[in-house]
Structure 1
Amino acid sequence: MWSSFWFVPAVFVLTSIGLFGITHRLDVLLSADLSNVPLLFSGGPSAASDVLSAIAGSSITVVGTAFSLTIVTFTLASGQYTPRMLKHLSADRGLRVVLGAYLATFVYALLALRTVRFSGSSGGEFVPLVSTAVAFFIALVCVALLIYFIYHVINLIQPSAIFHQIYAETMNALSRLPDSGTNGGESDSSRFDPTKNPELNLLRSEAPDILKAGQSGYIQHLEIEVILKAVCSAGRTRLVELPYVVGDFVPEGVEIVRVWPACKTGFNDGAEEKVRKGVIFGKERTIERDITFGLRQLADISLKGLSPSTNDPTTAMQALDRTEGALIKLGVKDLPGRTQIHKVNDAEITVLIDNPTFEDFTELSFDQSRRAAFSTGQVIYLKRSLEAIERAMDANHAPQRRLALWRRAFSVAYNAPSQLPDRRDALTLTLQSLRIARKFRDSDPELSRSIENDLKEILALWGNSTFEDRVREAVSGLPHPPASGLSQRAASS
């Protein structure tokens, strides 16, 4: 309810109606005694009518004009950053408070205006002194709110404010993951390995019971326990597969649950309705339980900043700063497994679900933006991405995670010689990548083997080049002299 755009304005309007009921009652009971009270309205019916009409007309005009211009401003800003930012802006409480205050002022002034009676009318002359004074005071408050509104909108469309909102929601989603101490477990997120459980693999070769989606939309929340209780037969079900996870778009009619072994009678009555309670669909993705959506938005902003039409590497690097923070936070979190064991009615059920792995997160965070940076020659962004990779490797101690991050650093070193016209820029990126390799080369045997093979490829790329000696020295970990490779060869000859 609080997330609804109209909830706060509706509360303001209802409050203004209640406030008018109180002030009008005071006007009726005490009108004869209030005519000489300081700070209250002291004019006649015509003046009161003019004041209330001006307040009502100006308040609705200001709010209409201000919010129309705001929508245009937000639309232009979303084109520069990401269209998904409109959702964050429309959910801003400050905007809803200002809208509610102006609408409440308009409604209050209209209600007070209808109580004004001129001489000669039925019931005699009546001036709502208290109501008019309160309307005047509320109008002054709206003037202050207009100043706040302008300042607030300017701040909302600042890149830092947009990044902070996305980053805060992403970190909140990460906080829902279980803590893992400092080892960042990843083995529980591996895909189903049929060699480790040939019995279940043989079971999967049979035709399963299938439950199809009754509607289309993005999965916003997935309650596995609710789904299992709905589809599992007591003492019979052994394996359940969920092909879609939070953040996936599900077309109507596709399979969303597969159950083995199949039952001749199919699912129990009402199973489909119960599954709907465990799979919450929506028309768009949300970050609350969808970490990849937060990283996706940050990656989109980076791509916009790196595009030739925008050419804003600073904004791209600010988005990368937040991506780095999320990957470091993942260092002390365990990711949900792709093969899980759940207990339903004292029976163990194996659940296969295609949850994203750390490899998926690193691919989303670096791969597209790396290609865009190479295509536009944004060397400074590539340097910053290597710094982010190194810090993320420091925070994530699991070998699989470090290997996923190293692959991104290696991709920079591997593509730099062929993608960048300036060989010195390529050398700088290569040496930075090699520094990361030396730092983590001995942290794990599997990672060490991968790095050693990658270093051979990097050396082959720089063979017979001016800077071959510097690359070889960097690979071996020996300090190189400040002179270039060309001057070294000249000196030796």
Structure 2
Amino acid sequence: MARPRTRRSRLASLRAAFWLVPAAFSAGAVLLAIGLSLLELRLALPFNDILPSGPAGARSLLSSIITAMISFTALVFSITVVALQLASSQYSPRVLRTFLEDRVTQATLGTFVATFLFAMVVLATLPDRSTVRLPELSLAVAMALVLASSGLFIYYLHHITTTMRVSHIIAAIGAQTRGTIGEQYPDDQIERTSVSLSPPNQTVCADVPGLVDDIDLHLLAALARRHGSAMAVLPAPGDFVAAGQPLVTVHPLDNETNTPVAAQEAARVVSISIERTPGQDVGFGFRQLADIAERALSPGINDTTTAVRAAQEMHDLLRRLAARPFHPWVVRDDDGAVRARAERQSFDHFLAIAVDELRRAGRDDPRITRLLDATLADLRTVALPEHLPDILRRLHG
């Protein structure tokens, strides 16, 4: 059974796909080669002193380019696989997404494949007779692509060694999570009161097991208006739902005619995936950083400095969240009536990951315990009153 996916989740998955950039580069190279082959009949460029003087020389040049690009592509793929293996074993399997979404790696692989395909198409169009003019423009572009590939390969080696450093990985996760916080927990959030709905008269359950990836609240509100009701999503982004577990509740409105909601319609507003993504899931960033810190504190690695760096990044994220309200997402009609509601992950949930788990893993390390105490003391100075009990409980516990 296919997993329900919202439109935004599908677009995000497409943008993050590793194959998209190489596929676009490859298609562009083939179209460019075909287009230049057609233009060669109309253009006469003076490249005879630079490019091969006959079909045999041009064929040798293109064959060398094809062979070199195959070797380059295999080398880049091998380096990327090794980087993924090292990152998975050294830091956390959940940081692989950072490497797979890296545009430099995608562009490098795409450029090599594009150069290979371009040379293949040009080679297929070479004339057999020396009396026929060579595709000079296509050969010039092929040589330019080789030069670009060589420069990009050198930059790729620098880039991959930089991104493999743990400080870079932690900073990248932090930057991504800060972006999610800015989108999901804005400073100017208007909804600051609890929202209550009438008792539900219908419950829609999940068809498949998985993790809540995305909630399209505006689509949920439109569905609720169509059925004369209000609707609420029970799990928060990042939560696991089992097949048959309640997913969406339908609440009747007194002044409207309520009609039943089909399970397929409700499932379209909640994306269920096999893995967590950073789209709406702020906790995913905390989970990655906590995994890195806990693995660094394990007896097999014993790298307290890395754990401290991950804890410092989580401190910055917690400080941003502590000053923001955590009320549910709500969509209202023009008259103020609630049409759709979805739950958020709680501030206590983030503290449990960043403080409780790390304190347990580093209970024998004074650097970790002092850092966590200092983090809680700092959070106390900026937290909203609604978050203070969770902070004080851990600070004095």
Q: TM-score, normalised by structure 2?
A: 0.84
Give the alignment partner of residue 179 of structure 1, picking from 176, 181, 187: 187
Whether 2:22 is the aligned partner of 1:9: answer yes
Distance 1:283 1:67 in 2: 25
Give the alignment partner of residue 288 of structure 2, picking from 286, 297, 302: 297
Contact 1:217 1:282 in 2 (8 A): yes
Contact 1:216 1:249 in 2 (8 A): yes
Contact 2:330 2:339 in 1 (8 A): yes
Task: Determine the structure 1 residue equivalent to 2:220.
Answer: 227
Structure 2 CA distance for partners of 1:310 and 1:187, relative to 1, 3 Å: farther
- Which residue identity lines up with residue 300 of structure 2 in the other structure? S
Structure 2 CA distance for partners of 1:368 and 1:274, relative to 1, 3 Å: same
The CA RMSD over aligned residues, in Å, is 3.3
Give the alignment partner of residue 82 of structure 2, picking from 55, 58, 72: 72
Whether 2:159 is the aligned partner of 1:152: answer yes
Matches within 5 A, 1:324-339: 324-337=315-328
CA deviations over 1:259-278 (Å, ceiling 9, x no partner): 45699xx9736533332332
| 98-107 vs 156-165, greater mean Cα deviation | 156-165
Q: CA deviation at 1:110?
A: 0.5
Whether 2:62 is the aligned partner of 1:46: answer no
SS at match of 2:238: coil
Task: Determine the structure 2 residue equivalent to 1:427.
Answer: none
Q: Pick 1 or 2: higher relative contact order, CA cutoff 8 A, min separation 6.
A: 2
SS at match of 1:84: helix
Task: Determine the structure 1 residue equivalent to 2:387.
Answer: 401
CA deviations over 1:41-75 (Å, ceiling 9, x no partner): 03322221111001011102211122123212221
Structure 2 CA distance for partners of 1:371 and 1:18, relative to 1, 3 Å: same
Task: Determine the structure 2 residue equivalent to 1:166.
Answer: 173
SS at match of 2:127: coil
Whether 2:110 is the aligned partner of 1:97: answer no
SS at match of 2:362: helix
Whether 2:392 is the aligned partner of 1:382: answer no
Distance 2:158 2:227 in 1: 61
- Which residue identity lines up with residue 66 of structure 2 in the other structure? A
Give the alignment partner of residue 275 of structure 1, picking from 259, 266, 271: 266
Contact 1:209 1:262 in 2 (8 A): no
SS at match of 1:285: coil
Contact 1:208 1:262 in 2 (8 A): no
Structure 2 CA distance for partners of 1:57 and 1:30, relative to 1, 3 Å: same
Distance 2:153 2:332 in 1: 57
Q: CA deviation at 1:153?
A: 0.6
Whether 2:120 is the aligned partner of 1:110: answer yes
Aligned residues: 381
Task: Determine the structure 2 residue equivalent to 1:133.
Answer: 140
SS at match of 1:219: strand
CA deviations over 1:371-405 (Å, ceiling 9, x no partner): 1111xx2211111122222222222142x423322
Whether 2:363 is the aligned partner of 1:371: answer no
SS at match of 1:336: coil
- Which residue identity lines up with residue 154 of structure 2 in the other structure? I
SS at match of 1:408: helix
Contact 1:20 1:108 in 2 (8 A): yes
Structure 2 CA distance for partners of 1:316 and 1:156, relative to 1, 3 Å: same
Of the two, which has the highest radius of gyration?
A: 1
Distance 1:4 1:353 in 2: 28
Structure 2 CA distance for partners of 1:223 and 1:112, relative to 1, 3 Å: closer
Distance 1:254 1:365 in 2: 28
Contact 1:230 1:271 in 2 (8 A): no
Distance 1:372 1:397 in 2: 28
- Which residue identity lines up with residue 5 of structure 1 in the other structure? F
Structure 2 CA distance for partners of 1:225 and 1:96, relative to 1, 3 Å: closer
Q: CA deviation at 1:358?
A: 1.8
CA deviations over 1:241-299 (Å, ceiling 9, x no partner): 54312111222322212345699xx9736533332332122232122211111111111
Give the alignment partner of residue 347 of structure 2, picking from 358, 371, 395: 358
Give the alignment partner of residue 34 of structure 1, picking from 28, 46, 61: 46
Give the alignment partner of residue 73 of structure 2, picking from 63, 71, 92: 63
Distance 1:48 1:118 in 2: 11
Task: Determine the structure 2 residue equivalent to 1:212.
Answer: 205
Structure 2 CA distance for partners of 1:347 and 1:331, relative to 1, 3 Å: closer
Distance 2:342 2:32 in 1: 55
Q: CA deviation at 1:165?
A: 1.7
Whether 2:94 is the aligned partner of 1:84: answer yes
SS at match of 1:147: helix
Matches within 5 A, 1:471-486: none
Q: 5+ residue gaps in structure 1?
A: 412-493
Amino-acid identity (%): 27
Q: CA deviation at 1:233?
A: 8.9
Distance 1:234 1:347 in 2: 18
- Which residue identity lines up with residue 286 of structure 1 in the other structure? T
Distance 1:109 1:26 in 2: 16
Task: Determine the structure 2 residue equivalent to 1:430.
Answer: none
Distance 2:263 2:378 in 1: 46
Distance 1:406 1:147 in 2: 52
Structure 2 CA distance for partners of 1:243 and 1:360, relative to 1, 3 Å: same
